[in-house]
Structure 1
Amino acid sequence: MKTKVELRHLRYFAAVADTCHFGRAARLLHMAQSALSSAIRQLEDELGVSLLARTTRQVRLTPAGEFFLGEARRILQGVDLGIRGVRLIGEGHLGLVRVGFTGASTVAHLPAVLQAIKRRLPEIKVEIHNDLSTSLQCDRLRDGTLDIGILHAPLTGDGLDAKVIGSESLIVVVPAGHRLAGKSVVTMADLRDEDFVTCREVDSAVSRLVLRGCLDAGFTPRERHGASSTATVLALIAGGLGIGVVPASAGGLPMPGIICRELTGVASVRLALAWRKSQVAPMMSAVLAALDEITSVPRPLANG
């Protein structure tokens, strides 16, 4: 036959054990002392053991009562934590959010994203997926393996919502000792005879802007080397394989052997916050609201 012990019995018993007094415990529980005494008797009858030793002057725990008090507190704490967790989830204040960043935007924008979420949603855990191309982020947002994307507009494909959160200028990166390293500002026309190191990405917004800037300057870029990440592009440039045009945030990546310079004659790239249209979970609504304050923060160029 199963023992029938209710949560209220555990709360009543813990209150009596903490106060060692039925009258004070009854007042804390906002119930009649007689009802409390009856409930504790029911609990002891159900367990088949005395939990409290009662005299006219005091109430104290029996050895069985001392053991049961520890178990009762553990169970009550677990129930309270479970109730709090369920409520937080229902309100969108508890869970895991997976955030993707494109290229070097992690360096520039990750602190602001983390601070915004922590300030409004301290119980939310954040999982970072960095150096993902815009097209890959769009694919992963659609298949549900990412929740939020920080990427370059425009988006690729459909099924996504986005808002532009700022813009980022493009800079030129050259090897140390390069002829352009001595200039404070470089023009697109200055790059006419250079070999370009590019980041391979389908439908890259940066690549389109660079191509347009080169064509406007009267030449077609010589794309001699490609890489799968911004960090690798910078490494190839440091190795003397060419120059690169990248978002300004890439200037914050630690890479010896490169020089970053301002670049004119090319448009800025738009930075956007993207998410899946069908995403209606309370947590996502809360996270998007927390990220409303995110805007682009200008970064100084890294000087060589």
Structure 2
Amino acid sequence: MELRHLRYFAAVAETCHFGQAAATLHVAQPVLSYAIRQLEAELDVTLFVRTTRQVSLTPAGAYLKEQAERVLAGVDDAVDGVRRIAAGRSGLVRLGLTGIAAFSHLPRIARIVKRELPDVDLDIRADMLTPGQCNALRAGAIDLGILRPPATGEDIESRVIDVEQLVLAASIDHRLAIEPVVSVADLRSESFVMYDSRDSAVNDAVVKACRAAGFVPRRAYQASGTPVLLALVAAGLGVAVLPASVRALPLDGLVVRDLADADTVEVALAWKTGVENPVVGAVADVIASAFATGSADADPRDLDAQLSAQFGDER
């Protein structure tokens, strides 16, 4: 049974009029009549009762009409789905994020992807440090990453989408909690709570800022993720210097203060070199555009050009 025959049958079954069905299908009526006869011969049943006055469905024809509508709807849905995937408008994208970015950047990302690509699902992998994200991109475990440069290892491309100031996180009863603005030099005698990864971009920025102020931070505690790190700070076990987006994680007993002379850290969109996936490319475009207007260093045209070169213009 050809799909064409099923479509022809469905048109005649809907109207019970060969002339009207032929006009709808844009075929000649003799061609349509011949196709229906072929279908009846293949099935060895009579699908229509034909008289000079009217055409009506037989019981077998009525049953086939119901089944044909279901089958044809499924075929149409499949064709539409395939085309949407090929155009980057439908599918699943696995997105990795650093601990803080899951709170500060993910809401904007999820909102704009839902609005611009409603048939794309995001599988979120949160609290992943940059080295872990790079390894996951390389292994194909995630498709895109929101991380802090530099990306580690080969075959990973990235583009900065945001730049953040470093700020001070301290317990509410800390001596510096009453100060609206703090200097890095004021932290010379403090114990620090830092990430336990040797490749943490935030740790590197903190050490750089402290050395510029004339001291090396004394690492008292280490944490594998941001929630644990902040809990240790709120408990008074030390201070932490973190990206300003940490303000998105309010915690009882914790205060965040500006650092007058601190450095900045970057947030980047990252992907594996050479991966051609129109859905991933479409999501990358949407994420880039969401932050391009909010970052002085991000030009939407540059982002689009780089992502188009990576994922192709078919998006």
Normalising by structure 1, report the TM-score. 0.91
Aligned residues: 294
Q: Any residues of structure 2 matched to 1:11-26 within 5 Å, and which? A: 11-26=7-22
Q: Does residue 59 of structure 2 align to residue 63 of structure 1?
A: yes
Q: Any residues of structure 2 matched to 1:5-154 within 5 Å, and which? A: 5-154=1-150
Q: Residue 271 of structure 1: which of 260, 267, 281 is its match?
A: 267
Residues 194 and 229 in structure 2, CA contact (< 8 A), matched pair in contact too: yes
Q: Does residue 169 of structure 2 align to residue 159 of structure 1?
A: no
Deviates more, 1:62-71 or 1:117-126: 117-126
Q: Does residue 252 of structure 2 align to residue 256 of structure 1?
A: yes
Q: Any residues of structure 2 matched to 1:284-295 within 5 Å, and which? A: 284-295=280-291
Q: Distance in 1 between matches of 2:235 and 2:285?
A: 44
What code does the residue aligned with 1:77 have? A
Q: Distance in 2 between matches of 1:213 and 1:292?
A: 29
Deviation at 1:127, TM superposition (A): 0.9
**C-alpha RMSD of matched pairs (Å):** 1.7
Residues 167 and 262 in structure 2, CA contact (< 8 A), matched pair in contact too: no
Deviation at 1:180, TM superposition (A): 1.0
Q: Distance in 2 between matches of 1:38 and 1:267?
A: 79
Residues 135 and 202 in structure 1, CA contact (< 8 A), matched pair in contact too: no
Cross-structure match for 2:175: 179
Q: Distance in 2 between matches of 1:291 and 1:234?
A: 27
Q: Does residue 203 of structure 2 align to residue 207 of structure 1?
A: yes
Deviation at 1:65, TM superposition (A): 1.4
Q: Distance in 1 between matches of 2:34 and 2:166?
A: 77
Q: Distance in 2 between matches of 1:294 and 1:135?
A: 25
Q: Secondary structure at the match of 2:262?
A: coil
Deviation at 1:171, TM superposition (A): 1.1
Residue deviations 1:25-46 (CA, integer Å, cap 9, x gap) = 1110111222212211221121
Q: Distance in 1 between matches of 2:54 and 2:235?
A: 83
Normalising by structure 2, report the TM-score. 0.88
Cross-structure match for 1:218: 214
What code does the residue aligned with 2:183 have? T
Q: Distance in 2 between matches of 1:111 and 1:73?
A: 41
Q: Secondary structure at the match of 1:183?
A: coil
Q: Secondary structure at the match of 1:294?
A: helix
Q: Distance in 1 between matches of 2:226 and 2:40?
A: 69
What code does the residue aligned with 1:293 have? S
Cross-structure match for 1:197: 193
What code does the residue aligned with 2:36 have? I
| Percent identical | 48
Q: Distance in 1 between matches of 2:126 and 2:117?
A: 22
Residue deviations 1:58-95 (CA, integer Å, cap 9, x gap) = 22222211211111111111211222222223223332
What code does the residue aligned with 1:199 have? Y
What code does the residue aligned with 2:37 have? R
Q: Distance in 1 between matches of 2:230 and 2:127?
A: 13
Deviation at 1:106, TM superposition (A): 1.6
Cross-structure match for 2:301: none
Q: Residue 234 of structure 2: which of 228, 232, 238 is its match?
A: 238
Q: Distance in 2 between matches of 1:223 and 1:269?
A: 20
Residues 130 and 151 in structure 2, CA contact (< 8 A), matched pair in contact too: yes
What code does the residue aligned with 1:268 have? T
What code does the residue aligned with 1:32 have? A
Q: Does residue 165 of structure 2 align to residue 169 of structure 1?
A: yes
Residue deviations 1:138-195 (CA, integer Å, cap 9, x gap) = 1111111111111111111121111111201111111112111111011111111211
